Amino acid sequence: MAAVVGLLVVLGVLAAALGPAAGSAYAADYRYWSFWKGGADGWSFQQVGPTANVPADGAVDGWRFVLSPDGGQDAPRPSLPADFAATCANTAPSGGHKRVAVVLDFGTAKDAPNGEQPAEAKSLCASVPTGANSAEVLAAVAPPLRYDSGGLLCAIAGYPRAGCGEQVAAGSNSSSASGGSAAKGDGGPAVGVFVGAGAVVLLGAGAVWQARRRRTR
């Protein structure tokens, strides 16, 4: 019985500790450049990074700067259409090169870091060697690019001036100190809390089992 009471006490303390932590784990947005693929049906989220994607001649790459809790399909799409014909109409084909349309959407004022103003969205046509990947395509039309030490794309055409995938409190556009955690897949402190919680529950369950075993002897 003492073990059961002890377990209930542990679970009560644990629930009180986990409540705020669990809430804070999800009450955050991330500011980053999202990567999209244009097609006849509009925009679809790219499943690979720009260095791994090698677009074909006639492809459309899309980039949108967002403030979003989601790192994928549900993030806001580029606001301009994925229109290769219109974008590259004045760029003639050339041997050994391909043409790739690039849409840059710098997001809204709400998405912008403090003190910065997003530029107007625009469509550009890159003429690059046929083997160029999407990172090289982007570098050809929208320098300067900025990457962090882990290879994460932080800025396109110099925007934003600072920061890289930083976490922002939900409903705010002020940065927190835990930059890059969404883009790099870092679960943050809440992960450790949940792991510790699982260990404590297992220990408590073991104590209950031992108590029942003694009573049946």
Percent of residues, the chain, with pLDDT higher than 90: 59
What CA–CA distance (Å, rounded) separates 215 from 205?
16
Does residue 28 carry a pLDDT above 80?
no
Model confidence at 172, pLDDT cuts 50, 70, 90, reads: low
Model confidence at 169, pLDDT cuts 50, 70, 90, reads: confident
Length of the chain: 217
Contact indicator for 14, 197 with CB cutoff of 8 Å: yes
- 44-96: pLDDT as tens digits: 999 999 999 999 999 999 999 999 886 677 889 999 999 999 999 999 999 99
* C-alpha torsion 81→85→91→95, nearest 10: 120
Two tokens, residue 165: 């995938």
174 vs 53, more confident? 53
Give the position of tokens 């629930």.
15
Q: Count CB neighbours of 130 within 10 A.
A: 11
User: How far, in whole angstroms, is CA 158 from its chain's centroid?
Assistant: 19
Does residue 21 carry a pLDDT above 80?
no
- 182-201: pLDDT as tens digits: 333 333 322 232 333 333 33
Model confidence at 112, pLDDT cuts 50, 70, 90, reads: very high
Closest C-alpha among 161, 127, 129 to residue 146: 161
Look up the pTM and report it.
0.68
